[in-house]
Amino acid sequence: MPSRKFADGEVVRGRWPGSSLYYEVEILSHNSNSQLYTVKYKDGTELELKESDMKPLTSFRQRKSGSTSSSPSRRRGSRSRSRSRSRSGSPGRPPKSTRRSASASYQADIKEMRKEVLEVKLTPLVLPFGNSIKRYNGEPEHTERNDIPHKNTQEKFHLSEESSYISAQYSLCPRREETKLKDIDSMEEKIVTRASPSLRTFEVTAAQKKDLEFGGVPGVFLIMLGLPAFLFLLLLMCRQMEPSLLNFPPPLPALNELWETRVFGVYFLWFFVQALFYLLPIGKVVEGTPLTNGRRLKYRLNGFYAFILTSSVIGASLFRGVTLFYVYDHFLQLALAAIVFSVLLSVYLYARALRAPRDELSPASSGNTIYDFFIGRELNPRIGNFDLKYFCELRPGLIGWVVINLVMLLTEMEAHSRATPSLAMILVNSFQLLYVVDALWNEEAVLTTMDITQDGFGFMLAFGDLVWVPFIYSFQAYYLVHHPNEVSWPVASLIIALKLCGYVIFRCANSQKNAFRKNPSDPKLAHLKVIHTSTGKNLLVSGWWGFVRHPNYLGDLIMALAWSLPCGFNHILPYFYVIYFTVLIVHREARDERQCKKKYGVAWEKYCQRVPYRIVPYVY
C-alpha cells in the first residue's frame, strides 16, 4: 500500500479543479483505494483531490520570502541595482544596452511577480447558470443555498482579505512601481472583461453541439411534424361514439372545414387581450436569475390579476346572456388556429434571433437551423419590456385551459339536458382550476425553471404553451362531454383524497425549495441538512428533498392520475395525459440529472448516494 504524503487535519494548498490556481485547504480524510484526499476549502466546499494536486504551504511561502533568487525585494529592487551600478561605474548615463537589459529584466520580473500573485490570490469564477417541470415550476430539482446573485460580469477577480494582507505585507516596491502595476492590471482586466462574454457563449454553444437533445435534428423534425397530427387524432377519436383501434383512424374532415379566418381572428383577439392584461402596471416587479452576461431581467408578476380580470369578463358575459358554445362548436378550428399562430410566432422568433447578440442566445442552441428553430435560439426575446417567452409560459395557454374546461362543463349540461353538471365534470374542473390558480399565485417560481433559464423560445415552448396546454390538458373535460361517466360519492371521496395528497407533496416541496433559496438562514429551515458544492452553493438533502430527488414531480404525477380517474375505465383515452406526463417527467428528470452532474460533480454524486430514488420511492 503506497504511503500517504499528507495527514488528516493538515493545512496545505490544493489546486482548484480545471485550473492552475491553488487555495488553502484542510485535509479531512484519505481513501486508500482511490488514493484521493477529501479536502475542505475555506468557503466550506468539499472536494476530492489527487496527491499531485496538493502542495505544502512551505513551498508557497518560500517563493514569497525564502530564497535570495525569488525574493520580492530582489525582483522589485531595480532601485538597489541602480545604486550598485552608480557606485561601481563612472557618473553619468549608462550605455543604452545596459538600460535596455535592465528594462527587459524589470518587465520579466514584473510578469513573474504578477504570476505568483494571481496564482495565490484569485478566487474561482462562478458563472450563473440557471436551472422546470414542463408546466410551470419544474427545474433541476436540486435546492441551493447561498444563491448570491452576481452583480456584474466585470467583477472577474475577487481578492480575499488574507490575500490583501499578504500583498500589503510583502509589498516592497516603490509607489511609482505600484502605480504601474495597478495600471497594467486595470488594462488586462478590461481586456478580459470585454472578451469573456463571447468566449463563454462560444464554449457553451460548442458544448451543446456535441450533445443535442430530443434525438438531435431528425428527432426534433419528426416532433414538429408529428405533434400537430397527433393532437388532431386524439380530438377526433374522442368525438367518436366508440373510440377504439378498430375504428382507427377516425374520419378526417376536409382542410377547408378546419380553417376559418374568423376563428383565427378570435384566437388572435384572445392572445391580444391577454397581452394587454400583461402590460397593466399592477403587481410587483422582481428580478430573474442572473444571465450569462451578468444581467438580471425584470418581470412584472400580475398573472393572477390577469386571471381575475378574465374571469370577470367571462362572468359578466354569461350574466348578459352571451353563450360560449362557439368555442366547443369550433374546437378543431381553434386548435388549428393556435397551431398556425404558434408556427408564425416561431418563425418570427427565429428570424429576430439571427440578429441577437451572442451573449443573449440560449445555452441550448446549437447553430443548426432546424434544431434551433425547435429549441429556440434566443433565450429571452423581448419587445421593449414585453417578454414574449415569460408571457406565453402562463397567460394565454394556462388561462385558456380553464376557459375551455368551463365551456365543456356548460356544453355537457346543454347536450345531456342536465340542470347541474355531473360530479365527474365538477371534479375535473375543480382539480385543474386549483392547479392553475396555484401556478398563477406562485408566478415567481417560474423564473427559476429550465424553460426560462436554459431553453430558448422556439417552436417547442410556443407550441407547448399555446397549443398543447389548452387543448390536451383539457382533454378529460372534452372526453366527458362525449362519454359521460357517473361517479359515486364514496369513489369521489377517494379521488379527492388522492388529489389532495399529490397537491400537498407538490406544493410543500416547491415551497420548501423556494424558501430555502430566498433565505437559507431562516430559523425555520435550520433543521435542514445540506451538501457543499464547488460552486459555493449547497444542495438540500433533507425534508422533502431527502425523500426523493424530485418530490414535486411525484406530486405532479399523483395529481395527473386524480384528474383522469373521474372519467372511469371504459377507455384508455382519458389516461393519455397520465402516460404522456410520465414520459415527460422521466425525460425532464434525465435532463436535470445530466446538468446537475455536470455542474456539481462530486457533490451531486454524494447527493445521489444519500437520496437514491429519483421520483417514486423504492420504484424509480
Judged on CB neighbours under 10 Å (0-12, 13-18, 19+), 144 is buried
pLDDT over threshold 90, residue 522: no
Q: Tell me the sheet residues that pair with 585.
A: none
Quote the longest CA-to-CA distance of the chain: 118
Could you give the C-alpha distances from 302 to 272, 309, 388, in angstroms and in order?
A: 16, 11, 15
| Residue-by-residue DSSP string for 262-281 | HHHHHHHHHHHHHHHHHHSS
C-alpha dist (Å) from residue 149 to 87, 128, 155, 290, 518: 58, 8, 12, 6, 11
Average pLDDT over residues 147-166: 38
Burial of 170 (0-12, 13-18, 19+ CB in 10 A): middle
Predicted confidence at residue 585, as pLDDT, reads: 85
Q: What is the pLDDT of residue 458?
A: 92
Which SS3 state, helix, strand or coil, does residue 380 take?
coil
- Whether residue 408 contacts residue 481, with contact meaning beta carbons closer than 8 Å, is answered with yes
Least confident of 36-45, 92-101, 483-492, 504-513: 92-101
Residue 539 near residue 533 (C-beta atoms within 8 A): yes
> What 3 state SS string does 435-487 have?
HHHHHHHCHHHHHHCHHHHCCCCCHHHHHHHHHHHHHHCCHHHHHHHHCCCCC
User: Rounded mean pLDDT of 86-108?
Assistant: 44
pLDDT score of 543 more than 70: yes
Instruction: Indicate the burial class of 99 (C-beta count within 10 angstroms; 0-12, 13-18, 19 or more).
Output: exposed
Whether 246 and 264 have beta carbons less than 8 Å apart is answered as: no
For 103, 241, 308, 467, 485, the CA distances from 316, given in Å and listed in that order, are: 85, 35, 12, 26, 30
pLDDT (tens digit per residue) in 440-458: 998 988 888 878 888 889 9
Which pLDDT band, with edges at 50, 70 and 90, does 130 fall under?
very low
> Quick one: average pLDDT of 140-148?
44
Average pLDDT score, the chain: 76
